[in-house]
Structure 1
């Protein structure tokens, strides 16, 4: 049974001038459920107690992650990826990171909930969390059409005249939760207007150049992620 948000997404896709093709009904349902899980991961991260931090001040639970000198988090050997990713949401007070890394973490959590622990642990060994670095099985795709955005998509608010002393506020990566409702790590949940107002507070003095919603749209390759449930992980080289 579809949720109201999933039905809304389905109706909008059916009424879109863009033709969306799926190999079967299961593929469509999987995309809708993964989108729901992305939204739920965003809300869960918002409530988790995780803090915003630049790379120099990032932190993670050392039981599961090794903090690298550049502020990233490397999965500790022998730790199941599903356990380590879930810990971020369960013990958020032990973590702090920037907004791009938060997006990847939310996507990993949503994929975990969508394909299950066994498949996730098969395919996502050796996770490294920093900025936009991702496991190849996530297969992120991009587009540039704001008329075709749906709950669970990743968007970007650009702040072109940010203060040079705070480069972390040059923009905000967000998850679309619903129509004109977004979550951005470090800002929280709000409308496009709310996020733009927050970013505008971090502009150069006397700047009149407003932040704005960029046309970049990012999302997982839903069908590739679905197939992870049915294939074995390839052998990876030992480093």
Structure 2
């Protein structure tokens, strides 16, 4: 039985370029590799991709497993250099209209993962697909009012305490409250959020919807926690998310999976001092688009997001209290002018698409591209690694 990464290391050493490590399914018992592959394809509605999806059994310090990946020719044709931004268009997927097509985009991008994604079972992988799909669908419907100082929630769903944050009122279902808070087509109004908190609510909704379907015991624990206190910020990351990539081993810059939580850093030290403009937290929607929580029907392309962040420096001013602020109205014509000028746009993008620098470091070498992606932990009974506190 070959070592799990042996094939991929060999391909890299022979100069075949970036390779797809794909996904690793553990817990397959005595099933043959071909049986695992066949069940995988059938269960995920991907039998038409049988020629492009390969499988190999192997072993590592964590035990045995079967690795499945999209072959190198398909990866290079559909997403050259692991650039998944045009994948949906290349495959002719109508992800806005079809849940099946959205799930196909998620599946294919995960199967070409350059770092490898580990799952304790096929059930767990299926839940990961569902959570990402839920997040994208919820994010598309989300519109909020940007405000780093104020925070509002529907008063018939939430109550606020300085120490506990926004907690559910007795008898209010968590999923219903999250939908009403983030989706104005349901609530009829916009509520104030920072972009960071917005990504938390959208991610939490996607996870809660899957827990309600596949792990009701953990869902009830989650809901009960939110009746006692909110899980926020660093604790939210620790409890609900895992991270792919690092500063030392970055994810390819244009490799995104629908449902990823992504950060774009503001590389300008002065304007990054303005509260809420240190960077921009978004969700990747697929099809080359990122969330615009403030203008639902105008999602960001990578180019527009980078140009907007670049021009934050030109909207910097001090308010009456001497605090740094950004005048977003002032920079709107600057953004449009840059987008309309190919030479200027090329210069701005060359600067902004560099890797971001470490926290607290600002030099001319730094850009706004993060080296990591964030996504949900495991959720299934018996294999979940989501440490939701017990109340």
- Is the pair's TM-score, using the shorter chain for normalization, greater than 0.5? yes
Distance 1:205 1:22 in 2: 45
> Of residues 167, 185, 192 in structure 2, which corresponds to 1:96?
192
Q: Give the one of 265, 269, 279 matched to 1:158.
A: 265
Structure 2 runs not aligned, ≥5 long: 1-43, 46-99, 317-347, 353-366
Q: TM-score, normalised by structure 2?
A: 0.50
Structure-2 separation of matches of 1:113 and 1:154: 17
**Do residues 28 (structure 1) and 125 (structure 2) align?**
yes
**Following TM superposition, by how much is the alpha carbon of 1:183 offset from its aligned partner in structure 2, in angstroms?**
0.7
SS in 2 for 1:212: coil
Change (3 A) 1:155 1:165: closer
Instruction: After TM superposition, list the pairs within 5 Å mapping 1:5-154 onto structure 2.
Output: 5-46=102-143, 50-54=144-148, 56-69=149-162, 72-88=165-181, 89=183, 90-91=186-187, 93-116=189-212, 118-119=216-217, 120-127=219-226, 128=230, 130-134=232-236, 138-144=239-245, 145-147=250-252, 149-154=256-261
Residues 89-109 of structure 1: per-residue CA shift (max 9 Å, x gap): 331625211011111100111
Q: Distance in 2 between matches of 1:203 and 1:153?
A: 27
Aligned to 2:279: 171
1:183 aligned residue: 291
Say yes or no: does 1:195 pair with 2:289: no
What TM-score do the two structures reach when normalised by structure 1?
Answer: 0.78
| Structure 1 residue 180: Cα displacement | 2.5
Offset from partner CA, 1:95-135 (integer Å, 9 cap, x none): 21101111110011112222227553332323216545539
Ranges in structure 1 where 5+ consecutive residues have no aligned partner: none
Partner of 1:215: 371
Distance 1:172 1:58, change over 3 A: same
Q: Which structure has more RCO (C-alpha within 8 Å, separation ≥ 6)?
A: 1
Count of matched residue positions in the alignment of Structure 1 and Structure 2: 227
Q: CA deviation at 1:179?
A: 4.3
